[in-house]
Amino acid sequence: MPLGEIIQRAMSPISTGLMDRENMLIKRLTRIVPSIREGHGQLAVPLGTGDDAAVLRPSGKTDWVLSCDSFLEGVHFIDGVHPPESVGYKSLARAVSDLAAMGAQPRYFLLALALPSAKTRGWLDQFARGMARAARELQVRLVGGDISKTQRVTIGITVLGEIARGNALTRAGGRAGDLLYVSGKLGAAQLGLEIVLRGLSRRRSLKKYLHPHLYPRIPLELGESLAHHKIPSAMMDISDGLSTDLARLCAASGAGARLRAAQIPTVRVPALLERKGVTPLELALHGGDDYGLLFTVPRKSLSRLRRIPSAIPVTCIGKMTREQKIVLVRADGRASPLVSKGWNPFSR
């Protein structure tokens, strides 16, 4: 049932009392999450939550970028382990990451939420607070959605962003000789996940390592800036791990890549996990959920890259090659093919 319908019912003298509890929970949700409701008068959105659909008024001067993403209990998060704030935050952040990857500016989102009755009180409140924080940080507003009842929480997010016509960055433009860059450090989110999966998340000394896994930071301004200055020839976000996502970029670009292991920005692994065989390089190569940007830069654009201001560092990790394979050069000079070992739902 559309969120807005329930809000309207709640405010209506005809309300039959049937849905009082649902009215309450949805009113709570839309009070917490930045939303656009009917009749708010903003020109770009003649109609937000509160009808069968949202009505948007494009200027005709920009392209619109549209993506959807699922976030599912038992697949993307574990009930009782991942805090509801993180579920709300991360489900929206990772959807917005697909817009950052195109260089677009996020504008609106739709939320299709299904949850069990037991989660309609405190859990929903905390979920909404996490989502609200992501919405404020990423500057998106809720314009519509749908709510159902299920046994396991199911979250569907659709995001809509804007970009100057023709400026969207695809994965298909990388050419042999272009330099390969990543933003931030790689493997931080996977390190957090390893701690969670090993049941170590309550260890005081390890708490600080959980944050990138629970609340990933989306390099939105960097993506917009790179697209605005037309610096990369190709760009995408690293959601499933460098080894998997680089293979996609190479496939789309019809090129290969040569990575230098020593140049890849890795994270420090606490001794306890290092002893269990967790290494910074493996985390960086195959760990997902970082949502850093992976992009290729033609040599002629390097000086422009150096001039753009960014709060997040970017690092050259190798270059694109003509030969359509991905090679990893280790610190000792040994070169070997890099096999995709990132996140793949159906391989497990």
Q: Total residues at the site for a second copy (CB under 8 A)?
A: 99
C-alpha to C-alpha distance for 307 and 337, rounded to whole angstroms: 34
Should residue 258 be labelled a site residue for a second copy when binding is judged by CB under 8 A?
no
In the complex with a second copy, the residue whose CB is nearer, 63 or 125, is: 63
Phi, psi of 325 (to 5 degrees): -145, 165
- Sole residue written with tokens 């509801």: 84
Should residue 277 be labelled a site residue for a second copy when binding is judged by CB under 8 A?
no
Should residue 125 be labelled a site residue for a second copy when binding is judged by CB under 8 A?
no
- Which residues between 97 and 116 bind a second copy (CB under 8 A)? 98-99, 101-102, 104, 108, 110-112, 114
Q: How large is the greatest C-alpha to C-alpha distance in the chain, in angstroms?
A: 75
Should residue 120 be labelled a site residue for a second copy when binding is judged by CB under 8 A?
yes
Q: Of 31, 121, 122, 150, which lies in the binding site for a second copy, with binding defined by CB under 8 A?
A: 150
Should residue 154 be labelled a site residue for a second copy when binding is judged by CB under 8 A?
yes
- Which residues between 32 and 51 bind a second copy (CB under 8 A)? 38, 46-47, 50-51
In the complex with a second copy, the residue whose CB is nearer, 63 or 221, is: 63
Should residue 335 be labelled a site residue for a second copy when binding is judged by CB under 8 A?
no
Check: CB of residue 5 under 8 Å from CB of residue 37.
no
**45-to-35, 41, 49, 346 alpha-carbon distances in Å:** 11, 8, 10, 39
Structure tokens given for 184: 């931030």
Stretch of 187-195, 213-221, 236-244, 264-272 contacting a second copy, by CB under 8 A = 236-244
Binding mask 287-326 for a second copy (x = CB under 8 A): -------------------------------------xxx
Check: CB of residue 291 under 8 Å from CB of residue 97.
yes
C-alpha to C-alpha distance for 343 and 316, rounded to whole angstroms: 23
Should residue 241 be labelled a site residue for a second copy when binding is judged by CB under 8 A?
no
Check: CB of residue 293 under 8 Å from CB of residue 219.
yes
In whole angstroms, the minimum distance from the beta carbon of 207 to a second copy comes to 29
In whole angstroms, the minimum distance from the beta carbon of 5 to a second copy comes to 5
C-alpha to C-alpha distance for 177 and 210, rounded to whole angstroms: 37
Of the candidates 75, 41, 14, which has an alpha carbon nearest to the alpha carbon of residue 288? Answer: 75
In the complex with a second copy, the residue whose CB is nearer, 89 or 108, is: 108
- Which residues between 62 and 91 bind a second copy (CB under 8 A)? 62-70, 72, 74-76
Should residue 197 be labelled a site residue for a second copy when binding is judged by CB under 8 A?
no
C-alpha to C-alpha distance for 47 and 56, rounded to whole angstroms: 7
Should residue 329 be labelled a site residue for a second copy when binding is judged by CB under 8 A?
no
Should residue 18 be labelled a site residue for a second copy when binding is judged by CB under 8 A?
yes
Stretch of 85-93, 157-165, 188-196, 208-216 contacting a second copy, by CB under 8 A = 157-165
In whole angstroms, the minimum distance from the beta carbon of 110 to a second copy comes to 4
- Sole residue written with tokens 């699922």: 70
Q: Residues 6 or more apart from 81 whose CB is under 8 A from it?
A: 196, 201
Q: Which pairing describes strands 292-297 and 179-183: parallel, antiparallel, or unpaired?
A: antiparallel
